[in-house]
Amino acid sequence: MTLLTEQILYKVIKKRPNQSHKGTYGRILIIGGTQQFGGAVIMNAIAAVHSGAGLVTVATDAANFTAIHSHLPEAMVVDFNDDLTPYIQTNDVILIGSGLGDRVDLVQTTFSAVSEKQVIIIDGSALTLSAEHHLTWPKGKLILTPHQMEWQRISGIAIAQQPSDALNLMARDKFIKKPVIVLKQFHTQIYTDNGIYELSIGGPYQATGGMGDTLAGIIAGFTAQFNVTTLSDTVLAAVYTHSAIADELAKTQYVTLPTQISQALPIFMKKYAN
Ligand SMILES: NC(=O)C1=CN([C@@H]2O[C@H](COP(=O)(O)OP(=O)(O)OC[C@H]3O[C@@H](n4cnc5c(N)ncnc54)[C@H](O)[C@@H]3O)[C@@H](O)[C@H]2O)[C@@H](O)CC1
Ligand SMILES: Nc1ncnc2c1ncn2[C@@H]1O[C@H](COP(=O)(O)OP(=O)(O)O)[C@@H](O)[C@H]1O
Ligand SMILES: [Mg+2]
């Protein structure tokens, strides 16, 4: 197990070239947010935009459109009951699952439409639905972001057994195409092709609904724009950034809200861009 340090940020976060435009920084499609859980995709999208994604589209229940536009005019919207195939095909990064409720049909459509070269981040309800319905994982570069209960559902490993790296690795090895797995908890672990990493920062001031939705949005934003290193490094940098900002806020705050973490992203990232 390798301890994740601030060095990963210098490796991944880069100064932007002048000769660039929004297309350079990636197109993200976020799929999620039933009427009840519209907040989840709003938090995904705020995090993705504030971390620097070029273009963000949210495929969601139409009931969430006004709220999305009022929180984040930078984001575009599409009704997730329309045919999403053209949207899936024209985005670089797909983030599916935050607040997706029981919409297994959307998970199935998305999994079949994603191609090898796209990044797909699977979060929240899409993880639970994949486990419940024994879905085949999609082609594409897979990033899974389960918390311990979601990982138990996917892997069959009880939370009490999850401190065993060996068991978690065995579960990862069963995937045909091995994913980057962000196993979220106090001191999150990240399973990658280059080994297992552990986060030694972050704390209980982060235990608010939406904290994982925000992390998924940052991972999407980072993978959409930082192609300088490996996908694993980019995910590691996103995970580190999320908790490093929380730690900074926690110096003066009892709790650190997900949306506050997103608001702090542009200033935080500036320190590492060289
Ligand atoms: N404002 C919103 O719209 C929100 C929507 N959310 C969405 O709600 C859906 C359900 O997700 P939930 O995670 O709430 O529900 P789940 O039922 O998937 O998991 C929560 C359960 O897991 C247990 N658990 C054990 N270890 C845990 C760990 N390390 N971290 C987190 N939980 C752990 C909790 O005690 C709880 O009983 C997801 O799609 C999620 O994205 C949540 O993000 C909350 C906020
Ligand atoms: N006690 C804690 N210490 C450190 N990080 C925590 C703690 N509690 C929660 N977190 C972090 O908050 C996030 C919660 O993710 P998740 O449970 O998916 O949230 P949600 O689905 O509500 O958005 C994870 O990144 C997790 O590591
Ligand atoms: Mg979650």
Concatenated DSSP letters for 212-253?
Answer: HHHHHHHHHHHHHH--SS-HHHHHHHHHHHHHHHHHHHHTT-
Question: How many Å apart are CA 132 and CA 121, to the nearest integer?
Answer: 18
Helix orientation angle between 38-50 and 211-225, rounded to the nearest 10 degrees: 40
Measured in angstroms, how far is the CA atom of residue 266 from the centroid of ligand 2? 21
- Ligand 2 midpoint to CA 162 (Å): 16
- For the domain that residue 241 is a member of, what is the CATH number? 3.40.1190.20
Ligand 1 near 217 CB (within 6 A): no
Answer yes or no: is the C-beta of 39 below 6 A from any ligand 1 atom. yes
Residue 227 is predicted with a pLDDT of 84
The pTM for the full model equals 0.99
Q: Which ligand is nearest to the CA of 95?
A: 1
| 258 Cα to the center of ligand 1, angstroms | 14
210 lines ligand 1 (CB under 6 A): yes
Number of domains in the chain: 1
CA–centroid distance, 21 to ligand 3, in Å, is 32
**The domain containing residue 126 runs over which residues?**
2-13+21-270
Q: Is the CB of 213 under 6 A from ligand 2?
A: yes
Buried b (16+ CB within 10 A) or exposed e, 153-164: bbbebeeeebee
Residue ranges for the chain with pLDDT beneath 70: none
Binding residues for (6S)-NADPHX: 40, 99, 147, 213
Mutate-to-test residue for ligand 1 from 64, 147, 148, 154, highest number of ligand atoms within 8 A of CB: 147
Pocket test for ligand 1, best of 30, 35, 36, 37 (most atoms within 8 A of CB): 37
pLDDT score recorded for residue 166: 96
pLDDT tens, position by position, 158-174: 999 999 999 999 999 99
Residue linked to tokens 């199935």: 108
The 8-class DSSP code of residue 60 comes to E
Sign of torsion over alpha carbons 32, 48, 159, 249: negative
| Residue 207 CB–ligand 2 contact under 6 Å | yes
Any ligand 1 atom below 6 A from CB of 147: yes
Residue 213, Cβ neighbours under 10 Å: how many?
29
* pLDDT at res. 228: 77
The bound ligand whose nearest atom lies closest to the alpha carbon of 206 is 2
Q: Are strands 119-122 and 141-144 parallel, antiparallel or unpaired?
A: parallel
Q: In what order do the strands lie in the sheet with 180-183?
A: 2-3, 195-198, 189-192, 180-183, 141-144, 119-122, 93-96, 27-31, 55-60, 76-79
Q: Say whether the ipTM exceeds 0.85.
A: yes
Q: What integer pLDDT is reported at residue 274 of this predicted model?
A: 80
